[in-house]
Structures are given as structure tokens and as C-alpha cells.
Amino acid sequence: MTNKNKIHVTTRAAIIDLDQILLCKTTDLASNFYFMPGGHIEHGESAENALLRELVEETGSNGKIKRLLGMMEYSFEPGHSSICHNHEYSFYFEVNLDNLSYGDNLPKLEDNIDLVWVKIEELLNLDFRPEPIARLLPTWLAQTSGSSFHSEMKLIIKESS
């Protein structure tokens, strides 16, 4: 199976402190980009448990999930492609970290990413992936109840014969 046919399910954290959001920045690519902490959900693992596991791996901190912000379906084609897949379903949660705040020294636990704090309003000025989250996230954070689903895929309705 080629990368163009792979679908991944991921979970991501919106970690906000003051007006800053904690992001990961790739460090090993020709064109580095930003993304939210988190990662792939393993078989048999819940989205929440996967996110908490990934946060320990990437930040060294335990987290507490506050709420589900939204879910998104996204295809990296025809825009940027991913190294390992081209289509994903992602769960986005608002999370508090136990012992990591804006202004703290950020750990470097993975060779291919740096952790960085960025002003939320700067997301639209970054090479942020997937791109729609940069504009969706402020809306999701402002909601006081419920969560949202967003799809970048075109709805195709087939008529039955």
C-alpha cells in the first residue's frame, strides 16, 4: 500500500497558557512546520489515553483532559503531503499539563521536534499543519459547550438507481 492510500487516526492537544499555545516544530525536514502535540492512536487505545501517552513522550508531563474541542477529517492532497499518510481523522482536546507552563524551559525529548510556545493569533502566520486548524482552533476554544466536526473533504452524494 502506498502512502497515498493510508488513513491515520490521530489525537492532538491544545495546551494554552496565557495567550500562548504549545506547539511542536519539526527540525529534520527541508521545510519545517508546526503542529499540535499528540500523535497516532494505537489499536485498542482510546483517543484520550493515546493523547496522554503522547504528551508524556513529547513533553515529559502528565496531562489532564479538560474537554473535546472538535474532530476533523483532512486530506493532505493536493496540498502538503505527509511522510506516512495522506488522509487523517483527528480528535482535538483542550488539555492542562501538570508541570509545564509558558516561560518554563521546554524539554527536548524527541530528536525530530522542538517544543515552542506561540501566540494563538500567530497560528495563521506559520506553516501550521493541518492548515484548517489554525482558523478553527480559536472558534473551538471560544465555544462553551459541545464540540465541532469539520471536514475538508467534499461531500459526494451518489444517486441510487
- Spatial distance between the Cα atoms of 91 and 50, rounded to a whole number of angstroms: 11
Pick the residue with more confidence: 100 or 150?
100
Taking only the tens place, the pLDDT of each residue in 16-48 is 999 999 999 999 988 899 999 999 999 999 999
Output the nine-digit C-alpha cell for 126: 506559520
* Sequence ranges of the domains in the chain: 3-151
Greatest CA separation found in the chain?
A: 62
pTM of the model: 0.85
Taking only the tens place, the pLDDT of each residue in 86-97 is 678 999 999 999
Query: What pLDDT shows up at residue 95?
Result: 97
138 cis-preceded (ω within 30 degrees of 0): no
- Domain range 3-151, its CATH number among 3.40.50.970, 3.40.228.10, 3.90.79.10, 1.10.1840.10: 3.90.79.10
Pairing of strands 87-97, 7-14: parallel
Taking only the tens place, the pLDDT of each residue in 130-144 is 889 999 999 999 988
Q: Grade residue 7 by pLDDT with cuts at 50, 70 and 90.
A: confident
